[in-house]
Amino acid sequence: MENQKYAKIVKIALWVLLALSVAVLLWGTIKGYPATVAADNGTVDPLLYWAYIVLGIALVSVICVGLYVTATTNPKGLIKIGVAVVAAAVLFGVCYLLASGAPAVGYSGAKLPTASELKMTDTILNLAYLVGGAAILSIIVSEIFMSIRNKK
């Protein structure tokens, strides 16, 4: 009975989010999106802010539901989650320390990015390079191990 109540609440919340998303999209489409940055008519920012809000709601929901399910089914799994969060924070910190924050070469935008924006952009790029390289390396290593195990 309790699960049906939660399912109904989630279903209603999803329909409300869908309706609001369609409303924001229709409003922007009716008002018209600008062709250039200089012709901004106030439609792009609300659409981006709504996308950030929905993404935040999704992340918080996934994290909260994941923690709840893990805590109820496998309390020892919370330690693994904590270790993963700490490892991710350390990885982000290392990438932040390696980020140069040097000005963008050849940038011709209307507004120059600040030093902190450049540092954060370099951090995200370093993180993407590191995680992408680790993914490729893990694929190669797993294929090597699988081929070695299959030969025996």
- The pLDDT tens digits for 64-118 are 888 888 888 888 888 988 899 899 999 999 999 999 988 878 877 778 888 898 9
Range of the domain at 2: 1-73
Q: Is residue 142 part of a domain?
A: no
CA distance 71 to 48: 34
Judged against a pLDDT cut of 60, whether residue 152 lies above it is answered with no
Judged against a pLDDT cut of 90, whether residue 128 lies above it is answered with yes
Q: Is residue 6 part of a domain?
A: yes
Stated pTM of the model: 0.59
In this prediction, residue 130 carries a pLDDT of: 95
CA distance 60 to 64: 6
> How many domains, the chain?
1
Q: Is residue 116 part of a domain?
A: no
Judged against a pLDDT cut of 60, whether residue 57 lies above it is answered with yes
Say which residues have a Cβ less than 8 Å from residue 148's Cβ, sequence separation at least 6: none
Are 127 and 92 within 8 A, CB to CB?
Answer: yes
Are 26 and 19 within 8 A, CB to CB?
Answer: no
Please indicate whether residue 45 or residue 122 has the higher confidence score (pLDDT).
122
Q: Is residue 137 part of a domain?
A: no
- Please provide the distance, in angstroms rounded to a whole number, between the alpha carbons at the two ends of the chain: 53
Q: Is residue 17 part of a domain?
A: yes
Average pLDDT (35-61) is: 83
Judged against a pLDDT cut of 70, whether residue 2 lies above it is answered with no
The type of residue at 20 is: L
Q: What is the DSSP letter of 103?
A: P
